[in-house]
Amino acid sequence: MVCDVCLLGGGHSHVLMIRRWAMQPLPGVRLTLVSSAVATPYSGMLPGLIAGHYDVDEMHIDLRRLCTWAGIRFVEQTAIALDLATRQVEFEHRPALAFDVLSLDTGSTPDLSVDGSSEHVTPVKPVNDFHNRWLQILDRLNQPHSGPVSVGVVGSGAGGFELVSAIRHRLPVELATVHWFLRQDAPLSGRPVRVGTLALAAAKRAGINVITRFDVNRVEAGRLIATDGREFELDEILWCTAATGPPWPEAAGLATDSRGFVASNAYLQSISHDFVFAVGDIGTQLETPSAKAGVFAVRQAPYLYENIRRYLLGEPLKRYRPQADFLSLMATGGKRAIASRGPLVIEADWVWRWKDRIDQNFMRKFRDLPSMRLNASVQRLPDALRSRFLDGVSGSESPVGNMRCRGCGAKVGAPVLERVLASLDSPGLVEASLLYAPAGDTAVLEMQSTMLAQSVDHIDAIIDDPYLLGKIAALHALSDVVTVDADVHSAQVMATVPGGSDATVERELRQLMTGLLEVLAEERCTLAGGHSVQGDELSIGIVVNAVLNQRSEAGAEGSKRLKGVTAGDVLIVTKPLGIGTLFAGLAQHDARGEAVNAALAVMLTSNRRAAQLLRSSGARFMTDVTGFGLLGHLQRLADGLQTGARVRVDHVPLLSGALHLARQGVRSSLWPQNRQVLTDIDIAASVSAEQLALLCDPQTGGGLLAIVPEPARQGCLDSLHLAGYADASVIGEIVSESRLSLH
């Protein structure tokens, strides 16, 4: 990789461009999609969702699944600012993301400039926030003895009409009154008069109370106030007015139009910064401005794809000309719609079926992702990128080519490494009072005469976000050490980053090390040094050192830890299983992004506090559940005991979506080895094949397995739940028979 393209926002143009890029990527270019949510809504189906014609999954595109399929990095985060001088996207809770080219497709927001609107209305965008509020309204109406509610929609455009019509269709007349507030006598200005006439007739036919010439001047809690003094009291005020641009483009120094949208040229480039592109609602072409409608975003996608490629290759860009007119399809609440283009206006049931077919075909592009085989011949780095991003180095002298040095020749260069280390400001870095480094790769630790616990772990890039990978790897490596009564002391790291230009290697290493150091600081562990190399794929290994508090702690799974285990002691796990299956499903483009997010949340939860609570509850033994799976670790425990254990399979906590994938036959690549433990276990007929698969599922960043005295059972669970380990469960007990059994 020699350069980075950042796609900020999961809008229609970007998702279509990603699909196109996956079919024909540009070698040497790394794409990263940044979105505040793992699923992005298709706005054309929002009225159908509100009306009850579609469910949430039908109208959302799973961005993590799409990006995994396309080979594009996905970062779920909300950007707070742009630094165009250093070319970075800034976030509140993670390091900035550097880029060479930036594309914006973040959409627009309703205009909340009316006094009181920002405090007292629910805007229709962002769609996810609006939908959450809509669910609250439905829940309120479903409560016993719920009184009627009055809902008002402010907005005279197509969005306002479709929203108010969908709400009226969904809410029973006896439970809700629905009002539509228009600024003028008729809605949908700028369209043929007949469109507004049909929309008004449909609204009144549906029982919507249409209030005309109501120019909202102020909003108070539960009240709209017009410029002519009229007031209207409502239980819910939904805002679907004209769109406006967010404040951050102008704050970043981008040229904007009068409404705050990024001003762009005919090539979809910012007129002030040629390395920034703006598509969808966030951009306004100054020469040929168009309405803020999804149809334009869809048509911009192939031009965005082509122009980013051409910009990187130094070729002439392709001019985008928006169509002068477009087909508009507006649902009227039920399965009926109004179609208009130019002077032609039609309302009919078949128009809704036409609209539904168009929407379903669009979403099918992202549900039914084709399998692809990438031709190795397209992996050659283009000469234009080589000369532009590798400082003119070409031919066999280039560090990026078909042949890469191995051994010490693969090390990350000293200048890059020094810049990364200098940029890291973390208390987890080396402290002179603890150690010194007489040689570049050697750390000498000044320790008291005591016993040292040491653990090593190495993982590859289970997630393509290097910042999250650094955090997960650190927590995973520390997990072994926290199971013994020891104070974590220091760590060393071995990092492999994908080969590329100095800029891309530096960016990757900085993100990885920042995540690692944040965890080490939280876990009170000092980074004592390490080593870094360039390779084919991102991976990280960590050695952790800890000072034992008691000499008897030697051997995390040694016999001394097993003294006192008796029949009746309970088995407790602190985190749900299914991590390996979910990520195997993600690699096969079957796992849902939200389910993977839940797995990531588990992986990013430290086991340190859980270990402390288990120890204070008198735990006789504990270990972390990692690559061998729950049964593999339990079998190793049984080998050191004179007794056996009974596991109640239905009590084992599982991650959402893991059982579904297991039923589909999704298995981790380690499943054939891990399953061998089943030959030594008594298994009841009621235990299913998918349950067995998850009990053998390898866990990266998994929880702890502990043996706790039965009297301490409830107190231990209560303390774990209170500390945030919501899925901690008793899964079985120690028995006198010297076998493991599953029931």
Share of the chain above pLDDT 90, in %: 68
Confidence band of 435 (pLDDT split at 50, 70, 90) = very low
For 302-328, write each residue's pLDDT tens digit: 999 999 999 999 999 999 998 878 889
Residue extent(s) of CATH 3.50.50.60 domains in the chain: 3-107+245-322+350-367, 117-243
For 33-66, write each residue's pLDDT tens digit: 999 999 999 989 999 999 999 999 999 999 999 9
Which pLDDT score, from 0 to 100, does residue 413 have? Answer: 58
**CA nearest neighbour of 64 among 35, 104, 43:** 35
Which pLDDT score, from 0 to 100, does residue 9 have? Answer: 95
Which pLDDT score, from 0 to 100, does residue 99 have? Answer: 97
The lowest-confidence range among 164-168, 174-178, 485-489, 718-722 is 485-489
Per-residue pLDDT averaged across 216-227, rounded? 95
Judged against a pLDDT cut of 60, whether residue 384 lies above it is answered with yes
Average pLDDT, the chain: 88
Per-residue pLDDT averaged across 533-553, rounded? 83
Which pLDDT score, from 0 to 100, does residue 536 have? Answer: 86
Q: Angle at CA 51, nearest 5°, toward 47 and 55?
A: 85
More confident residue, 159 or 109: 159
Which pLDDT score, from 0 to 100, does residue 268 have? Answer: 97
- Say how far apart CA 461 and CA 469 lie, in whole Å: 7
Confidence band of 591 (pLDDT split at 50, 70, 90) = very high
Which pLDDT score, from 0 to 100, does residue 447 have? Answer: 60
- Most confident range, picked from 3-7, 118-122, 404-408, 422-426: 3-7
Architecture of domain 3-107+245-322+350-367: 3-Layer(bba) Sandwich (3.50)
Per-residue pLDDT averaged across 339-364, rounded? 95
User: Residue 76: how many CA atoms within 13 Å on its side-chain side?
Assistant: 18
Which pLDDT score, from 0 to 100, does residue 690 have? Answer: 96
According to DSSP, residue 181 is labeled E
Judged against a pLDDT cut of 70, whether residue 160 lies above it is answered with yes
Structure tokens at 207: 């029982």
Q: Which residues of 380-398 are buried (b: 16+ CB within 10 A; e: fewer)?
A: ebbeebbebbbeeeeeeeb
Which pLDDT score, from 0 to 100, does residue 242 have? Answer: 81
Judged against a pLDDT cut of 80, whether residue 399 lies above it is answered with no
Confidence band of 402 (pLDDT split at 50, 70, 90) = very low
Judged against a pLDDT cut of 50, whether residue 172 lies above it is answered with yes
3-state helix, strand, coil in the chain (%, to 5): 35, 25, 40
Judged against a pLDDT cut of 50, whether residue 345 lies above it is answered with yes
Which residues, at least 6 apart from 309, have a Cβ–Cβ distance to it below 8 Å?
26, 315
CATH classification number, 408-556, choose in 3.30.1330.10, 3.90.1170.50, 3.40.1030.10, 3.40.50.1000: 3.30.1330.10
Please tell me the total number of residues recorded for the chain in this structure.
743
For 698-737, write each residue's pLDDT tens digit: 999 999 999 999 999 999 999 999 999 999 999 999 998 8
Share of the chain above pLDDT 70, in %: 89
For 252-293, write each residue's pLDDT tens digit: 999 999 999 999 999 999 999 999 999 999 999 998 888 777
Q: Residue 14 CA to chain centroid, in angstroms?
A: 16
CATH classification number, 557-743, choose in 2.30.300.10, 3.40.50.2000, 1.10.10.10, 3.90.650.10: 3.90.650.10
Which residues, at least 6 apart from 674, have a Cβ–Cβ distance to it below 8 Å?
628, 629, 631, 632, 668, 696, 697, 698
For 649-698, write each residue's pLDDT tens digit: 999 999 999 999 999 999 998 888 999 999 989 999 999 999 999 999 99
| Residue 408 is among the residues annotated as catalytic for this protein | yes
Structure tokens at 658: 């893991």
CATH T-level assignment (fold) for domain 117-243: FAD/NAD(P)-binding domain (3.50.50)
For 550-568, write each residue's pLDDT tens digit: 654 444 444 334 568 889 9
Which pLDDT score, from 0 to 100, does residue 437 have? Answer: 38
What's at 208, amino acid-wise? I
Give the E-state strand segments of 100-220 in sequence order: 101-104, 109-110, 122-123, 149-154, 176-181, 209-211, 216-220
Which pLDDT score, from 0 to 100, does residue 327 have? Answer: 87
Which pLDDT score, from 0 to 100, does residue 127 have? Answer: 87
Per-residue pLDDT averaged across 426-445, rounded? 47
Give the pairing of strands 3-8 and 29-35: parallel
Which pLDDT score, from 0 to 100, does residue 577 have? Answer: 97
Which pLDDT score, from 0 to 100, does residue 431 have? Answer: 46
**Token pair 């670790």 in the structure block, residue:** 633
More confident residue, 398 or 640: 640
Catalytic annotation, pick one of 405, 408, 525, 696: 408
Which pLDDT score, from 0 to 100, does residue 661 have? Answer: 97
